[in-house]
Copies of this chain bind each other. A is one copy, B any other.
Amino acid sequence: MISEEVLKGMFQPRTTPWRTSITKVEPNRLITQGYPQEELIGSISFPEMIHLLLKGVLPNKNQEQMLQAILVSFCDHGITPPSTQSARLMASAGSPVNACLAGGILAFGENHAGAIEIAMHMLQEGVKLSRNEDVALDETAQKLINYFTENEKKIPGFGHRYHKKDPRAPRLIELGRKYDCFKEHSQLAMHIQDQLRERKGIKMNIDGANAAILSDMGFDWRVGCGLFIVGRIPGLLAHIQEEKTQEKPFRKLMDVDTVNENEIINRF
């Protein structure tokens, strides 16, 4: 016979258990952020679900429309990004779709998809600074530009490798105003653009615009790259499908001769 006390001691949990507040799983029942899933299916849009998952509450109508637009804007940039090239290389090598998608995502490193997150971080810190120290936003913009320039870093969210004038940025800003998602962070971003355009002829890019609006919608900067991935995954999937169905398997993307032998790097 074992007393309850002894029992309690014996089975004292020694490891942190898995736990979550996102979805409660019971037999025949799935409750996500408080709502039974069968009630959400067919009642809310996919971006509403994304908002619910990441922020715990449903968005209002304006926020939903804005999020639709933002997710659409991330869609695709043709064959140029490392992520797309990686996903297609893997598809060509015969890897299954999920491995190709994972491979594409792994190429979203600091230099690639990182900009949106760094831009959100910068804008959120900037607005905090403005509020706490009562500094005007245009002054904050100047401080931020100086900071990055002095540290010889590119200002995240401005300028583009391929586009002098990223056509997606002004459209997003326009929609931000329309859907009441243009607030302090967007204002700060516009001040930065004004000053950068004058100083260096550089304009806001898609990352800068989305970073500003997502910040004004209350998203934490730490989910910035994740949201980019949510929006880009369908494009990667389309590329993988195209590679698998339209190109010969394991196609040769490089010839021995194209390896630039004259420019061999001396590493040591």
Interface residues of A (CB under 8 A from B): 1-4, 7, 11, 14-30, 32, 36-38, 40-42, 44-50, 53-57, 65, 67-69, 71-73, 75-80, 82-83, 85-86, 88-103, 105-114, 161-168, 170-172, 174-175, 178, 220, 222-223, 225-227, 229-231, 233-235, 237-242, 244-261, 263-268
Q: How far is the CB of A72 from chain B (nearest CB, A)?
A: 5
A41-B73, A233-B229 given as contacts; is B109 within 8 A of A106 (CB)?
A: no
Q: Considering the complex of A and B, which 10 residue pairs feature the smallest CB-CB distances, nearest first?
A: A94-B110, A95-B109, A94-B109, A94-B111, A111-B250, A93-B109, A93-B112, A102-B102, A25-B78, A56-B268
A41-B171, A171-B42, A230-B233 given as contacts; is B259 within 8 A of A30 (CB)?
A: no
B-side contacts of A242, CB under 8 Å: 20-22, 265, 267
Q: Which of B82, B108, B162, B264 meets A92, CB within 8 Å?
A: B82
Question: Once the chains bind, are A53 and B21 in contact (CB under 8 Å)?
Answer: no
Distance of A164 Cα from B78 Cα, bound (Å): 35
B-side contacts of A48, CB under 8 Å: 72
Q: How far is the CB of A182 from chain B (nearest CB, A)?
A: 13
Question: Once the chains bind, are B167 and A29 in contact (CB under 8 Å)?
Answer: yes
B-side contacts of A19, CB under 8 Å: 79, 259-260, 263-265
B-side contacts of A258, CB under 8 Å: 14-15, 17-18
Question: Once the chains bind, are A25 and B259 in contact (CB under 8 Å)?
Answer: yes
Distance of A254 Cα from B93 Cα, bound (Å): 20
Q: With contacts A2-B4, A46-B67, A99-B106 known, what are 7 further pairs, Cβ within 8 A?
A: A25-B259, A27-B162, A46-B46, A85-B85, A85-B253, A105-B105, A233-B233
Residue of B whose beta carbon sits closest to that of A243: B20
A49-B72, A105-B102 given as contacts; is B97 within 8 A of A253 (CB)?
A: no
Q: How far is the CB of A93 from chain B (nearest CB, A)?
A: 4
Distance of A26 Cα from B72 Cα, bound (Å): 19
Question: Once the chains bind, are B247 and A16 in contact (CB under 8 Å)?
Answer: yes
Q: Which of B69, B82, B94, B164 meets A42, CB within 8 Å?
A: B69
A56-B268, A167-B30, A239-B22 given as contacts; is B94 within 8 A of A114 (CB)?
A: yes
Question: Once the chains bind, are A16 and B253 in contact (CB under 8 Å)?
Answer: yes
Residue of B whose beta carbon sits closest to that of A49: B72
Distance of A11 Cα from B92 Cα, bound (Å): 24
Q: How far is the CB of A151 from chain B (nearest CB, A)?
A: 15
